[in-house]
Amino acid sequence: MEKMKIFIVEDEPIEALDLKHILGRLGYSVTGAAMSGEECIRQIPSDPPDLIIMDIRLRGDMDGIDAAAELRKKYDIPIIFATAFSDKTSLTRAKLTEPYGYIIKPYDERNLYTTIEMSLDKYRIDRRLKESEIKYRNLSSHLQSLREAERTQIAREIHDELGQSLTALKMDISWIKNRLPSGQNDLFEKMGAMSSLVDTIIDTVRRISSELRPGILDDLGLHAAIEWCADEFQKRNRIPCRVSCNTDDLDIDEMKSITIYRIFQESLTNIIRHAHATEVAVSLVREGDALILTVQDNGRGISEEEINDPSSLGIIGIRERALSCGGTAFISGVTGRGTTVKTVIPLEGSEQ
Ligand SMILES: Nc1ncnc2c1ncn2[C@@H]1O[C@H](COP(=O)(O)OP(=O)(O)OP(=O)(O)O)[C@@H](O)[C@H]1O
Ligand SMILES: [Mg+2]
């Protein structure tokens, strides 16, 4: 098996040498060493190691914790901190860089070995977890877009095919109705009833089709679609739903507008089902390069447990939809005062 490559950051040459010997005896290969944080950051790219042992106290402008924080931004390499004594403040700072372990100096061979092996194992597990998270995220986003495409197609077919046939049927009914011989009152009434029934079916077809894919979104854009949806919500539930928007000049692609629209729909459904609210405020604003949708109700307020519950699939769906456009959804609640769902989507830039 290939030897694990370890990089040492230690500003005491004797201690560095001592550590190097111990590591060699333990079967690791020390592929690099630096006396300062800056030097370590310069050297890492040329031959990235499997693990870094970083002294917390280093001479120079950067201590080990600063160096670890910098490295973490660019590389995915596990770091173990080495320290002679551990004061609370540096430990708190160190924790923020999510190190894989701590070693107390002077170096003890067995202790070193256990810490390194456990860190490498934990790192492998983390990697697998991250990879599977990426896989599931990609799958979820793929399924989501397939579902949208399918809904759009079904909506179009229902609207065009069924809608047109029903309109033709309605015309035929009135054609017959107009040609009925006089005195045929029963037939005349029957034809009238048929015609109203066809009207009702046409309305239902329109409703189903627009629930599947709101045509207004494609024809008039996101702002109009949000206004329309809020209006329908208000009419159906008798809960005032105000929409404010600071821009009509939204140059937003189809995927992002359907994402925001679906998040809005899910937020409204949750309000009807759970909030017991008497008012809803919606804002759609552009701030710099981001589009922000905020849906705020004055209901009972979602709890932290409900937000983080792995079975809260609606909430997870909101988050995943936002992430699939490179954005973020923030969900918060205050007991007795209401719930806020805020979605921030970048208008430009990379998509995941
Ligand atoms: N606006 C809200 N006000 C108060 N509680 C809420 C609100 N939205 C969600 N919740 C709470 O959070 C829980 C999780 O919401 P989520 O949308 O994930 O699931 P759900 O609505 O119960 O089911 P579904 O999977 O059909 O959406 C809800 O069951 C409810 O208890
Ligand atoms: Mg829900």
Give the distance (Å) from ligand 2 centre to CA of residue 227: 21
Residues 79 and 163 in one domain: no
Residue ranges of alpha helices (H) inside the chain are 13-25, 37-43, 64-74, 88-96, 109-157, 163-179, 185-212, 215-220, 222-237, 254-270, 304-308, 313-324
Q: Is the pTM of this model over 0.75?
A: yes
Give the Cα separation of 232 and 311 in Å (integer).
29
What tokens were used for 113? 């070995």
Whether residues 226 and 331 fall in one domain: yes
Q: Which residues are CB-neighbours of 4 under 8 A, at least 6 positions away?
A: 28, 29, 50, 51, 116, 120
Residue 141 lies in a domain: no
Decide if pLDDT at 352 tops 70. Answer: no
Q: Within this chain, do residues 185 and 96 fall inside the same structural domain, yes or no?
A: no
- CATH number of the domain that residue 65 is part of: 3.40.50.2300
349 — pLDDT class (breaks 50, 70, 90): low
Dihedral angle computed from the Cα positions of residues 126, 132, 138 and 143, in that order, rounded to the nearest 10 degrees: -150
User: Could you report the per-residue pLDDT of 86-135, keeping only the tens digit for each?
Assistant: 778 888 888 898 999 999 888 899 999 999 999 999 999 999 999 999 99
Q: Answer whether residue 164 shows pLDDT above 50.
A: yes
250 plus 205 within the same structural domain = no
> Which residues lie below 8 Å from residue 272, measured CB to CB, with a gap of 6+?
233, 237
Which of 115, 113, 75 minimizes the C-alpha distance to 97?
Answer: 75
Q: Which of 264, 266, 306, 321 to mutate to test the pocket of ligand 1 (most atoms within 8 A of CB)?
A: 306
In degrees, to the nearest 5, what angle opens at C-alpha 249 toward C-alphas 248 and 250?
95
Q: Tell me, what amino acid is at 96?
A: L
298-333 pLDDT, tens digit per residue, is 999 999 999 999 999 999 999 999 999 999 999 999
Of ligand 1's atoms, which has the minimum distance to the CA of residue 273?
Answer: 21
Are residues 337 and 244 both part of a single domain?
yes
Answer whether residue 244 is part of any domain: yes
Pocket-forming residues, ligand 1, beta carbon under 6 Å: 270-271, 273-275, 297, 299-300, 302, 306, 312-315, 339
Its domain, for residue 64, covers 5-107
Of 169, 190, 212, which residue is a domain's last?
A: 212
Q: What is the pLDDT of residues 4-47, one digit of tens each?
A: 999 999 999 999 999 999 999 999 999 999 999 999 999 999 99
Q: What are the tens digits of pLDDT across the range 196-235?
A: 999 999 999 998 998 899 989 988 999 999 999 999 999 9
Whose atoms come closest to the Cα of 302: which ligand?
A: 1
Q: Considering just the CA atoms, what is the radius of gyration of the chain in Å? A: 31
